[in-house]
């Protein structure tokens, strides 16, 4: 029955929560570590924080490497701080200065921000959790929301599906491009249109920015993105498969919200006020249109799925000794004596045979 131990409420949870509720930074850091590392009691912490979620404005910031995401995010942080708001930054970008892969100038700018007690910066460069990086990031964001931050910036890199998933867990997702990002059609084809609530052409003092912004606006207006790319279905849950041909254009998911295309010169703060205003307009629209509640409901269901996956992985690879079974099977696997499908069947059988009558 070793399975139960991991999820049994730990005795220090009430004390942890007390420090956290008192607004102590040390308490916040301890709760985040507990959650991020999936240490005993982390589920009880997350459950206890559930009623306090939804106050923060979660802003996703995504785009290709070199688009200036961290420069823009620090400019936004400064802007929000000037308005007296408390701001947290969660960086999932492996190329972010927060995570060590920094250019010196970036790192100095970040360190300045980090000295401000109204700013909290957390990097999520870690991998290897049984729930995956995306789930860990969302749970850390929940903790920051419950702690009372007014804005939470979530910075992810790239056009990859898992990165987009993280960015889309935000209330408002900003997709950043640069004039050199290639043409607008390529950007649309990469699936960024479906993910975005706002577009920003950064480094707008470079040649081509106007053209890029104009093309993006035109395509958004024509809703070409939908025709260029199939809408991605949700992970492992959609019984119907999207066809391999492009679908006819459909209305965008966000009826009544015209995705704006803004221009910024983040390193000198240009256009940042306008971006912050657009973010506020988007937030207001989310509430007024009922879209916020729709997204919240979808996020809750998605969290259930992710948590089920994590629990099953935990049982399989840790508690039911899946790792050891796989190790033992390796020679037969490599010689071709057994197929991976046979070994998998054996591991699943072991998970099911164990006495899990009381879920941990």
**Secondary structure string (H, E, C) spanning 72-119:** HHHHHHHHHHHCCCCEEEEECCCCCHHHCCCCHHHHHHHHHHHCCCCE
* Edge-to-edge strand list for the sheet holding 198-201: 119-123, 87-91, 151-157, 57-63, 172-177, 198-201, 261-263
Give whichever of 161 and 273 is closer to a copy of itself, judged by the CB atom: 161
CB 355, min distance to a copy of itself, A: 9
| Cβ contacts of 221 within 8 Å, gap of 6 or more | none
Give whichever of 81 and 299 is closer to a copy of itself, judged by the CB atom: 299
CA-closest candidate to residue 165, choices 130, 187, 127, 132? 132
Give whichever of 74 and 123 is closer to a copy of itself, judged by the CB atom: 123
Give whichever of 76 and 228 is closer to a copy of itself, judged by the CB atom: 228
CA-closest candidate to residue 227, choices 254, 249, 195? 249
Contact yes or no for 152/57 (Cβ under 8 A): yes
Contact yes or no for 59/170 (Cβ under 8 A): yes
Give whichever of 59 and 136 is closer to a copy of itself, judged by the CB atom: 136
CB 357, min distance to a copy of itself, A: 7
Q: What is the DSSP string of 139-186?
A: HHHHHHHHHT-SEEEEEEESS-HHHHHHHHTSSEEEEEE-TTS--HHH
CB 27, min distance to a copy of itself, A: 20
CB 105, min distance to a copy of itself, A: 13
Contact yes or no for 140/122 (Cβ under 8 A): yes
d(CA 176, CA 190): 13
Q: Tally Cβ neighbours within 10 Å of residue 148.
A: 15
Give whichever of 190 and 198 is closer to a copy of itself, judged by the CB atom: 190
For residue 128, give both structure tokens: 């290897």
Give whichever of 79 and 315 is closer to a copy of itself, judged by the CB atom: 315
CB 233, min distance to a copy of itself, A: 4
CB 33, min distance to a copy of itself, A: 11
State whether residue 41 is helix, strand or coil.
coil
CB 24, min distance to a copy of itself, A: 22
- Exposed / middle / buried, residue 57 (Cβ in 10 Å: 0-12, 13-18, 19+): buried
CB 268, min distance to a copy of itself, A: 20
Give whichever of 64 and 278 is closer to a copy of itself, judged by the CB atom: 64
CB 274, min distance to a copy of itself, A: 25
* Angle ∠(300,304,309) on CA atoms, nearest 5: 145
Give whichever of 134 and 278 is closer to a copy of itself, judged by the CB atom: 134
């Amino acid at each position: 029955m070793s399975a139960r131990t991991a999820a049994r409420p730990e005795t220090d949870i009430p004390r942890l929560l007390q420090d956290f509720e008192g607004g102590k930074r040390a308490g916040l850091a301890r709760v985040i570590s507990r959650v991020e590392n999936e240490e005993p009691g982390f589920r009880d912490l997350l459950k206890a924080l559930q009623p306090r979620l939804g106050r923060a404005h979660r802003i996703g910031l995504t785009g290709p490497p070199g688009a200036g995401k961290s420069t823009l995010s620090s400019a936004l942080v400064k802007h929000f701080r000037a308005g007296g708001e408390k701001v947290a930054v969660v960086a999932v970008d492996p190329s972010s200065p927060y995570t060590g892969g920094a250019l010196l100038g970036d790192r100095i700018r970040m360190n300045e921000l980090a000295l401000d007690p109204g700013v909290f910066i957390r990097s999520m460069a870690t991998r290897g959790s049984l729930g995956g990086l995306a789930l860990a990031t969302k749970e850390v964001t929940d903790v920051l929301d419950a702690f009372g931050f007014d804005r939470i910036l979530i910075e992810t890199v790239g056009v990859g599906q898992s990165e987009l998933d993280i960015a889309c867990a935000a209330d408002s997702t900003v997709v950043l491009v640069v004039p050199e990002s290639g043409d607008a059609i390529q950007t649309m084809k990469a699936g960024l249109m479906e993910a975005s609530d706002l577009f920003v052409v950064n480094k707008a003092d470079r040649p081509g920015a106007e053209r890029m912004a104009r093309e993006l606006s035109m395509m958004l207006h024509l809703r070409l993105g939908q025709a260029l790319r199939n809408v991605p279905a949700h992970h492992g849950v959609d019984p119907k498969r999207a066809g391999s041909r492009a679908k006819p254009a459909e209305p965008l998911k966000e009826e009544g919200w015209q995705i704006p295309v803004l221009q910024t010169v983040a390193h000198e703060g240009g256009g940042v006020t306008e971006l912050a205003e657009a973010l506020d307009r988007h937030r207001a629209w989310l509430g007024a249109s009922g879209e916020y509640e729709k997204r919240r409901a979808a996020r809750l269901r998605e969290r259930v799925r992710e948590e089920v996956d994590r629990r099953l992985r935990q049982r399989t690879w840790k508690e039911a000794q899946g790792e050891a079974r796989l190790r033992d099977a390796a020679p037969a696997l490599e010689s071709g004596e057994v197929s991976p499908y046979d070994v998998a069947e054996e591991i699943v059988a072991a998970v099911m045979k164990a006495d899990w009558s009381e879920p941990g």
